[in-house]
Structure 1
């Protein structure tokens, strides 16, 4: 775990750090830092959903409350042919239905930093470092024949976690779309919780008795971040991961987010995820969420 924590600390520091030119002294006056090449954005939000019914409500229903929070931040540095882009996405939410314990509704850690050198107006050579995991334990809930329910541990912090290093070419014809061809990509899959056994689930491709799996692969990533109408933003990220040793089992992941801004502090957010990874499940996984809540941009 010390190694895992060090890796996470290193990536966070890389993403949150901001390169600055040293201050200069002009006589007795200090010249301000030069930030003309920086473009930074950040958003923090809290979403709350609640529903309640009287005991004689004929339409049926279960009292419930859900609370979630997220933080998205991005920095982009461009000077001549050099480009450095970093992004962080943190999400966590809980759901509580009457008669059940609290359960997670969303849980994600996404850290990404990329350095590029522009070859011509639309092509760049890049090096990329990406980390993905979750904050807390995840369970599969099974109904027992006796009528009760049991929870089966299937994931945890750093179980799994994915650290990906990639170099290749990037096609960036506009500011809101880019396509990355990771010709040389190495991914480490971590499972550091021994409670996750080989059968429940399949340890995400990590062999029993080990904590990490290394893969050499080709990776394709497409990013879209565009305001498609006034106060309406569409963000999508598609990732293809093809292990050179097992090209018959290609991983696919699509994340889509549609955000409508009602006013300065209130927004509606619709999200969806499609995932196919045979190391996790032989079938396609999907997740969908709709929330309204507080949003602060800075």
Structure 2
């Protein structure tokens, strides 16, 4: 159950980025995170106290991003974001992965896998998989 801005997550961070290769970078930073829930009734589902609309957290944030062409027509993209709040035991995690294949000029295939963990919402790992097949035609 959700609604507009229920929830919305905002993060701000200041830190350092390390790029060992052109296709991968790592950022470590001090961060702030806010979880906004516009509908008060839904706040408890997203780890907020009753009648609360915003939860503020401060902590460390780590972001690793990979964007690499493995073969001529195969691209792998991955983004791992971890946020460890100073006052919580387990970090929040969002890991997004996309494998894109281009068969020819007009047919492509994508596989997306996203895993999410936030113990304030649910103690289980959440997983979303998406498979898409695309066709593109140039009109002009």
TM-score by length of 2: 0.90
2:87 matched to 1:245?
A: yes
Does structure 2 conserve the Cα–Cα contact (< 8 Å) formed by 1:180 and 1:221? yes
Structure 1 runs not aligned, ≥5 long: 1-153
Higher RCO (C-alpha 8 Å, min separation 6):
2
Q: Shift of residue 195 of structure 1?
A: 4.2
SS of 1:155's equivalent in the other structure is: coil
- Tell me which of 80, 96, 99 is aligned to 1:255: 96
Q: In the alignment, which of 50, 57, 63 is matched to residue 215 of structure 1?
A: 57
Task: Report the counterpart of residue 8 of structure 2 in structure 1.
Answer: 161
Question: Retained in 2: the 8 A contact 1:172–1:178?
Answer: yes
Whether 2:112 is the aligned partner of 1:271: answer yes
Instruction: Provide Cα deviations, 1:68-100, integer angstroms capped at 9, x if missing partner.
Output: xxxxxxxxxxxxxxxxxxxxxxxxxxxxxxxxx
Matched, 1:229 2:76: no
Aligned residues: 137
Alpha-carbon spacing, 1:263–1:210, altered in 2? closer, same or farther (3 Å): same
CA distance in 1, matches of 2:25, 2:102: 25
Q: Look up the SS of the partner of 1:284 in the other structure.
A: strand
Please identify, of 214-223 and 258-267, the stretch whose mean Cα deviation from structure 2 is larger.
258-267
CA displacement, residues 196-226 of structure 1 (integer Å, 9 cap, x when unaligned):
263xxx2x12222121111101010100000
Unaligned stretches of 5+ in structure 2? none
* CA distance in structure 2 between the aligned counterparts of 1:188 and 1:245, rounded to whole angstroms: 14
Q: Which runs of 4+ in 1 moved over 3 A?
A: none
Distance 1:195 1:209, change over 3 A: closer
Partner of 1:175: 22
Aligned-residue CA RMSD (Å): 1.6
- TM-score between both structures, scaled by the size of structure 1: 0.44
